[in-house]
């Protein structure tokens, strides 16, 4: 029986291999590995939590499970934008707990083979690309691939876990 389960697990991993969910923040297209994504939901009522960083918008109740949500636009230090009918919450698993990522809109699932992913440029301007895992090349387009584990730093994780 365990051989069958392993085969199913391996085939599921194969179908997710190189797949990225792309989403839009401003004029840029970002991607996250599909294996981190559990679901995509519309924007809903968010309960604010005091003394959190500005990009941590609060918590939502998703079918009885309390999930913290962060605004990716604010996390990337972009201008705030009013939420609309295209705004989505991408629920991902980061460091063994679920987090909702508020994005301007979800685009599509694309396949980007590992050999089409390059390291982000090392720009010595003091600005850090700490959230960017790599740059995916699809034809003439590029997608900035997010490192889900770095989106929330450890101090923020501790605060969110205690919520």
Domains of the chain as residue ranges with CATH: 2-162 (2.40.50.180)
Mean pLDDT of 93-111: 90
pTM score over 0.85: no
Instruction: Name the DSSP letter for residue 54.
Output: T
Asked whether residue 123 carries a pLDDT value surpassing 60, the answer given is no
Question: How wide is the angle at C-alpha 41 spanned by C-alphas 162 and 100, nearest 5°?
Answer: 25
The H or E element that residue 157 is part of is helix 154-162
Which residues, at least 6 apart from 89, have a Cβ–Cβ distance to it below 8 Å? 40, 41, 42, 43, 44, 60, 69, 100, 101, 102, 103
pLDDT in the model for residue 63? 92
């Amino acid at each position: 029986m365990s051989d069958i389960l392993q085969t199913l697990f391996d085939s599921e991993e194969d179908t997710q291999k190189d797949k990225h969910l792309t989403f839009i923040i401003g004029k840029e297209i970002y991607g996250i590995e599909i294996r981190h994504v559990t679901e995509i939901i519309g924007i809903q009522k968010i309960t604010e939590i005091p003394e959190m960083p500005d990009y941590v918008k609060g918590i939502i109740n998703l079918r009885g499970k309390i999930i913290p949500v962060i605004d990716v636009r604010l996390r990337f230090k972009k201008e705030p934008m009013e939420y609309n009918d295209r705004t989505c919450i991408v629920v991902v698993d980061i460091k063994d707990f679920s987090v909702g990522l508020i994005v301007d809109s979800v685009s599509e699932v694309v396949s980007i083979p590992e050999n089409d992913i390059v390291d982000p440029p090392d720009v010595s301007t003091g600005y850090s690309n700490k959230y960017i895992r790599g740059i995916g090349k699809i034809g003439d387009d590029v997608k900035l691939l997010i490192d889900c584990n770095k989106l929330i730093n450890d101090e923020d994780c501790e605060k969110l876990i205690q919520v």
